[in-house]
């Protein structure tokens, strides 16, 4: 599975959306035929008119998929999409506009620093779970150098760090990350459910994963 698909799968999971491979790619949900690039009107895949989401290459495939289970999924997809769009409107979910700096939308500098630290911690956990990658804490090493590298990358990217970020703030952020009295400490491992509980926000893992993806410049794998 490529990283975009995996990311979409995790996103679907965060939103309690039944994952469908057509979530990102224009392929028939039944026979997996891909829509050709620059498709003509006849070659364009058909969209299920109820959920406005699932794609098919033909009526036959649509009918077969309906019987195979889309009948149930269709309603779920439609309501999950509705919930997602409403969350975007309430600005609970980061809009995908490239000029929006997510961390600028966090009310305090401390909270923004903690979310940046947690984006790192969740990513290390994700890399361990999905990629069998053992780095930092998971490699039984001092996690600081790996986190330091993460901050270097964040500083190189445009549109990641908030306006107030500078050398002094970076030092402060590093201190918070190393302080074992702070919940967001890189010396402790976390899982997705810990994040949801701590922030009391079921969408928080998704927000942090998007942030880490921007910083590493790649999804998982």
Q: What is the contact surface with Zn ion in residues (CB under 5 A)?
A: 28, 30-31, 33, 48, 50-51, 54, 57, 61, 74
Shorter beta-carbon distance to Zn ion: residue 79 or 105: 79
The span from the CA of 204 to the CA of 185, in Å, is 17
Closest contact distance (angstroms) between CB of 44 and Zn ion is 13
- Which residues, including other chains, have CB under 8 Å from residue 143's CB and lie 6 or more apart? 124, 136, 137, 186, 187
Distance (Å, whole) CA 139 – CA 134: 5
Whole-angstrom Cα distance, residue 167 to residue 177? 15
For the CB of residue 93, give the shortest distance to Zn ion in the complex, in Å: 22
Chain centroid to CA 37: 26
- Residue pointed to by tokens 């790192």: 120
* Nearer to Zn ion among residue 81 and residue 182 (C-beta): 81
Tell me the C-alpha distance between 122 and 206, whole Å: 10
Beta-strand runs (E) in the chain: 46-47, 55-56
Q: How far is the CB of 96 from Zn ion (least distance, A)?
A: 23
Count of residues in the chain: 221
Closest separation in Å from C-beta 78 to Zn ion? 7
- Is the CB of 3 or the CB of 81 nearer to Zn ion? 81
**Which CB atom, from 33 or from 169, has the smaller least distance to Zn ion?**
33
Residue nearer to Zn ion on the CB measure, 31 or 39: 31
Q: How far is the CB of 58 from Zn ion (least distance, A)?
A: 6
DSSP, collapsed to helix, strand or coil, labels residue 30 as: coil
């Amino acid at each position: 599975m490529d990283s975009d698909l995996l990311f979409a799968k995790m996103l679907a999971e965060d939103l309690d959306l039944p994952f469908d491979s057509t979530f990102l790619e224009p392929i028939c949900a039944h026979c997996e035929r891909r829509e050709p690039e620059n498709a003509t009107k006849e070659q364009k895949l058909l969209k299920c008119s109820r959920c406005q989401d699932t794609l098919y290459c033909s009526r036959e495939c649509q009918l077969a998929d309906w019987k195979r289970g889309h009948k149930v999924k269709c309603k779920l997809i439609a309501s999950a999409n509705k919930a997602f769009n409403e969350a975007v409107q309430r600005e609970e979910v980061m809009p995908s506009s490239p000029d929006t700096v997510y961390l600028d939308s966090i009310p305090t500098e401390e909270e923004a620093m903690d979310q940046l630290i947690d984006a790192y911690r969740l990513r290390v956990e994700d890399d361990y779970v999905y990629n069998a990658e053992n780095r930092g804490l998971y490699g039984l090493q001092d996690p600081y150098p790996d986190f330091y590298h993460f901050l270097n990358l964040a500083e190189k990217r445009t549109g990641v760090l908030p306006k107030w970020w500078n050398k002094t703030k970076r030092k402060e952020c590093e201190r918070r990350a190393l302080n074992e009295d702070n919940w967001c400490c890189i010396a402790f491992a976390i899982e997705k459910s810990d994040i949801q509980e701590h922030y009391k926000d079921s969408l928080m893992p998704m927000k942090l994963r998007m942030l880490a993806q921007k910083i590493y410049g790649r999804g998982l794998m």
